[in-house]
Amino acid sequence: MHPSSTQMNRFSSSAASSSTSHPLGSDITVANLHEHSLLTNDLLAEDDPVIQQEILHLIGEYMASIPGPGLPHTLASLKEEMDLRSREEDERESERERLSGRMLDGDWPEAERLLAADPGLVRNPKAFLYKLYRQQFLELIEARESQKAFNLLLRRLKPLEHYQSYPTEFRDLSYLLSARAVSEAGESFDGWKWGGPAEGREELVEVLRGMQMHTTSQDSIGMGVVGRNEGGRGEGGGSSSDATPYVPPNRLMTLLRQAAAWQVYFSRYHPKVLPTIHTLLHDYTPFVLPNQLKDTYKNHSANVKAVAFLGASGTRLISGSSDATLSIVSTTSTPLTGPSRLLGHTSRIWDVDSTESGSFAASASGDGTVRIWETEKEGKCLAVLGGASREGDVYSVRWGRGKNEVVTGGYDKILKLYDVERGQIVKTFTGHTQPVTSTVFGPEGKVLVSGSTDRQIKVWDVSSGVLVHSIASSLGEISSVDIDHKGHHLLVSSKDNSNTLFDLRMFGRQLKRFGTHQNTSRNFIRSKFAHSSLIVGGSEDGLVYLWSQDQSEPLQTLQGHGRGAVYDVVWNDAQQLLASCGEDRTVRTWVWEAEKGEEEGKAQGGDASS
């Protein structure tokens, strides 16, 4: 679905001209729209049977407009089903009239039989049955037939007591057994309109009408409604309740285009070229390209090898350095309430990762260990994994889906899956012939991918430990691997100055190579998926690179780290924030600024400096 430029211009002009008079004011944003009635049932009466009927007609019109095998048959089946429902509703309405008549006549056995025969006469048949028994009970009290009233109360009303109108109603009904008439009960029944059997029965019929199923007659849908005005809403307006409504051509698609245009217009980031919307199941997510330096953190005394957001919220960053320390900083104006520095490693830190909640972090170090940290209170080291069982540096660590599993890779060429709580290895994955430099779990945690300096990419089944697939290509030594959120694509950084995209669904078929940046045998330069369309990565030339999955050349570069390599980058959706770290001993964050993007014309490409 792709709104035309004309449609978008009209929509934008209309929205802009009406912003000052809008009930939400001129500061309308996607964020505050969710706090107002524009996105609630107050705007669209979705429970209205007329709206429900029109939706069915829209579906029918859309189905009738699509050529192809099977659709005419499906449309005919839908029409037949709606006609059947219409006939059933006509019959049900006749039964409701009979039920109303029986209640007005006081023929309670027949009324009860009609309800039992078709519970669909009312929305909640048991709740209505309670009201019907209550009416009988009151009439028996008025007729001074105490024994019959007692039997009805015990056998009929008591099992339905939880449908009472107020918490003490059943108790008050029981009290009436000792009274000669309802009128003698005093204030307990002031709220009950009681003027004898006739008025009570009429009130019960009104209750029936209020509780009946809201369905309307349905004549036809889809075929034949396009272009028809007779009997429907014609050129001069007017309508007929018993005729097929007129559905304008392509009305459903028009409404969906308007919805997509609304999402694009009110998004935070306004693209220079209109996007193509590929899904209706999720709201439009803007294609954000950071173009401005936000913050610089100088908390390390040596180069910073790795950086990660602590949790999905993106309010905190953790970084690992060659000074053997971990640093935690706030990415918002809210000061940190937990630890700011984690100490314990005795050698450089190669990699860091966090649980989804951000409460726990893991760090991989040149001291041969992986340490598990609590990050919200005192920053305690909860476990030390490896050490005696690990030979050489640990280059990579990644959490599994929960907080109890991490996988590591390092100089000893072996992937090790740890149970964090027990501090024990539960599975090993062997097959690489050189050090493992990077590991990553698939989105569901069932697949594990590893990269190595042996230039091999291996895909493992986590539960069995079996090697599923090995990708051998003409790449250089692997410095990082990453999987997109759908689990479809694999991004590989290698020391031949390239980032390469593979399709995991096609047994690792190579799709595209992204270049221009620098990644040689000197450093571990990592690249990652930012969102569904954007790839971000570091480089030895001191720049942060951003690529679109559709283009080999960079969309944008970010200057700010100065001389020396940018080792790692990471993106956070919640904050729309990019973080990077490098040889200059700093961690930097990057955002998109509208004024800078418009001034330099770089919303869709080019260089942006800090």
Distance CA 550, CA 555 (A): 10
pLDDT for the residue 275: 75
User: CB 223: neighbour CB atoms within 10 A?
Assistant: 15
C-alpha closest to that of 344 among 371, 319, 321: 371
Strand partners, 572: 577
The answer to whether the beta carbons of residues 276 and 576 sit under 8 Å apart is no
pLDDT for the residue 506: 86
> Strand, helix or coil at 110?
helix
- Straight-line distance from the first to the last Cα atom of the chain, in angstroms, rounded to the nearest whole number: 37
Q: Give the up-direction half-sphere exposure of residue 310: CA atoms within 13 A in the CB hemisphere.
A: 28
The first and second tokens of residue 520, run together, are 């040689």
For the segment 79-134, what is each residue's pLDDT rounded down to a tens digit?
666 666 666 667 778 888 888 889 898 899 999 888 888 877 887 888 889 999 99
Distance CA 490, CA 178 (A): 80
The answer to whether the beta carbons of residues 536 and 578 sit under 8 Å apart is yes
pLDDT for the residue 15: 37
Distance CA 96, CA 353 (A): 65
With a cut of 50, list the residues of the chain below it in pLDDT: 1-37, 214-242, 599-610
C-alpha closest to that of 603 among 171, 182, 267: 267
Strand 544-548 to strand 606-609: parallel, antiparallel, or no bridges (unpaired)? unpaired
The first and second tokens of residue 365, run together, are 């170090």
For the segment 478-487, what is each residue's pLDDT rounded down to a tens digit?
999 999 988 9
C-alpha closest to that of 306 among 321, 324, 317, 327: 321
Strand 292-297 to strand 587-591: parallel, antiparallel, or no bridges (unpaired)? antiparallel
pLDDT for the residue 169: 85
Residue ranges of domains in the chain: 123-211, 292-573+580-609
C-alpha closest to that of 288 among 555, 526, 8: 555
Q: Tell me which residue has tokens 């015990």.
A: 154
C-alpha closest to that of 208 among 129, 90, 136: 129
| Burial 407-418, CB ≥16 within 10 A → b, else e | bbbbbbbbbbbb
Strand 606-609 to strand 556-559: parallel, antiparallel, or no bridges (unpaired)? parallel
> Strand, helix or coil at 447?
strand
C-alpha closest to that of 603 among 263, 261, 288: 288
The first and second tokens of residue 359, run together, are 């409460």
Distance CA 132, CA 136 (A): 7
User: CB 391: neighbour CB atoms within 10 A?
Assistant: 12
Instruction: List Cα–Cα distances, 255 to 444, 486, 518, in angstroms.
Output: 35, 28, 47
C-alpha closest to that of 8 among 281, 248, 270: 270
C-alpha closest to that of 214 among 45, 43, 48, 44: 48
CATH class of the domain comprising 292-573+580-609:
mainly beta
Distance CA 587, CA 296 (A): 6
pLDDT for the residue 242: 46
The answer to whether the beta carbons of residues 568 and 319 sit under 8 Å apart is no
C-alpha closest to that of 82 among 51, 65, 60: 60
Distance CA 90, CA 216 (A): 9
> Strand, helix or coil at 178?
helix
